[in-house]
A and B are shown apart, each in its own frame.
Chain A
């Protein structure tokens, strides 16, 4: 009796599994997809604002269209925004169909593209973070964008900071896209509670220390400030002090062969970082490159300030509204004894892979140009906080009094415009940069944990980073 019951249970299970498999097959079978599909829209759900959850439409690829694969690294709201923008392009360009996918983080996206190239089937467009530029150049799988770009691309329309970063040996190998740099966000309510001027955030390392003392000792917040333990901030501070990270003109005159991690500037940054940490002013999640962790500490009101990307302006404004505090923005702090040189353009650019048929190359370059044109640069800027990368976009925005009405966006933009152009603020170009960045992060981690002194940690990091660079250079020569 027992056994027959058990047997029937197993049978039921198997039947269910077969049914599931069959239905999954049926659902995926017509993926060739040249016929039209009905798009179902589920009902509108109300929360705090109206949020629509739409059933993703099955992809409808028009017959005979040139299909372009576009891979990017964005998730969350930005992923959905990109999908809407691409849908707009597909709607207005019947001959081309852009198929867009997100591939995880910047590092993941680069890896995925290289793995796909190894499989012999790279996507047409890959979004690659700024420090992957040299790696992308060396990989040999990309075609220089400038060579394929249509005449209406107008590269001279790009704002200075952006074109300075992405022009290598006088040429644009990729189309700059999302560009940002770090700024200071602060909680004005906590500033008021601590008795600080909510309109004057600290500007220098020294002011930061004294403001933090006031905030923490007054009990207005548990910690003073947070930012992710990320190499990007170290790189930015180096640039802000006018110090080059790599040799050979920051890798822009010739291939970089070593990093300047034992320079005074490097030591000053890490020493300050440690002082902030030891005094309990600086808090981070404990994980490397953990943007979410830093956001959480600031948004939940446990710290009064956060240093993070300008691209989070919209996210932070939403957070401030949802959690009921007033948000302010300021410049990235710098040491008082050095001049404020400015910041490097962070973010990523769009690379197109080589070896596709002519019509696909043409369509690819056309899409990239459209995606970064004046209107789309404005749309992208307003929806995220990334810079409007074209002068023409800035003119339009100014015509709308955009920056006057949105001071949070202005701090970010002014900081970029006030940057003095030299090899330090153009940013380092290093082939093994992704690995070097990790090495720097681990050195800071060691210092914060009190395992080694600042000097020793940086010296060791330099040895490791130089070896990584030499190994890398050997492998591509």
Chain B
């Protein structure tokens, strides 16, 4: 018995050690970036490399935030991601409602029509999309750049698929009861479906947030003025330019660019895994 216990403790210690090593390896690049983000140019270029914190302190962060517009880019991206999250969730939900709680001709075909777009990432048709959006923007005046960054992303096959799955799993009598109460589909959506869908909503919201936060190629080609630019392209502009890169600044920018998705992730993580468990748990 004692021996068994001892072996168990030993196993646990080994597990701890293994996990600590893995965590360190996973964390190392960011710790490195964090240390470098506080170093001056000279400290960054020191050889052999200095791994501790530098003397620039918070200055690098202030510089990228104000003088290299990181603050602006982060604000823009939050705005764009927020708009997309809201409308995409709404549209996916109503589409799910239409597909699950109504009968209409070609229903299967409509679903496949939506599902098929899973295989059409924006990147594939970037050239044609660029031409199309440029033409539309020219027709309606080019000022509103947030529209070109959001409207093409407001529909989602993933979202429709998730809500369709989720709604189908909700017991059928609920809708019947609603109908007996005389509730229409919109009230049904509002007072029954939404309260029962928080996990799915959270899952979709998180996916969309990260998706928009990581947008790179589309804003790179379509955004005309820096005042509408998004964070990833802003990060790129710190390294891709005609002057020597200040690595301390760049690392500060990278750390800043990590924080918002991390916060959203921490908040929604649990709902996310539940809502996106792919029918394995209901």
Contact = CB atoms under 8 A, between A and B. Distances in A.
A144 to B, nearest CB: 24
Contact of B241 (A7, A25, A54, A104): A104
A24 B78 contact: yes
A312 B202 contact: no
Main SS of chain A's interface residues? helix
Contacts of B246: 76
A75 B237 contact: yes
Contacts of B222: 115
B99 interface: no
A368 to B, nearest CB: 19
B242 A312 contact: no
A105 B42 contact: no
Interface residues of B, number: 58
Contact of A322 (B41, B130, B242): B41
A79 B267 contact: no
A294 to B, nearest CB: 10
B109 interface: no
Interface string B242-269: 1111100000000000000000100110
A48 B57 CA distance: 12
Contacts of A116: 224
A104 B240 contact: yes
Main SS of chain B's interface residues? helix
A300 B47 contact: yes
B270 interface: yes
B169 interface: no
A6 B268 CA distance: 9
Interface in B78-117: 78-79, 82-83, 85-86
Contacts of A322: 40-42, 45
B25 to A, nearest CB: 24
B189 interface: no
A21 B87 CA distance: 13
A302 interface: yes
Contacts of B224: 112, 115-116, 119, 121
A interface, how many residues as a size bin? 35 or more
Interface stretch (A10-18, A167-175, A389-397, A420-428): A10-18
Contacts of B267: 9-10, 12-13, 16
Interface string A147-167: 000000000000000000000
B66 A76 contact: no
A284 to B, nearest CB: 15
Interface string A10-38: 10111011101100110110010000000
Interface in A98-139: 101-106, 108, 112, 115-116, 118-121
A78 interface: yes
A49 B66 CA distance: 19
Interface string B131-144: 10010011000100
Contacts of B130: 115, 118
A77 B245 CA distance: 10
Nearest to B242: A73
A213 interface: no
Given A13-B267, A121-B142, A299-B45, A102 B241 contact: yes
A104 B46 CA distance: 27
A55 interface: yes
A115 B221 contact: yes
Interface in B20-72: 40-42, 45-47, 55-56, 59, 62-63, 66-69, 72
Contacts of A115: 130, 134, 221-222, 224
Given A10-B271, A28-B75, A106-B242, A17 B85 contact: yes
A45 interface: yes
A10 B241 contact: no
A207 interface: no
B236 interface: yes
Which of B137, B198, B201 has most chain A Cβ within 10 Å? Answer: B198
Contacts of B72: 56
A24 B83 CA distance: 11
A20 B77 CA distance: 11
Contacts of B242: 73-75, 78, 105-106
A323 interface: yes
Contact of A101 (B137, B226, B243): B226
Nearest to A300: B47
A42 B58 CA distance: 13
Contact of A119 (B56, B138, B270): B138
A112 to B, nearest CB: 8
A146 interface: no
A292 interface: yes
Given A27-B75, A119-B224, A319-B45, A42 B245 contact: no
B93 to A, nearest CB: 14
A113 B225 CA distance: 11
B214 interface: no
A53 B238 contact: no
A301 interface: yes
B75 A47 contact: no
Contacts of A121: 138, 142, 224
11 contacts: A9-B268, A9-B270, A13-B202, A17-B82, A21-B86, A24-B76, A56-B66, A74-B242, A102-B241, A119-B134, A301-B47
The 4 A-B residue pairs with the shortest CB-CB distance in the complex, in nearest-first order: A75-B241, A322-B42, A21-B82, A76-B243
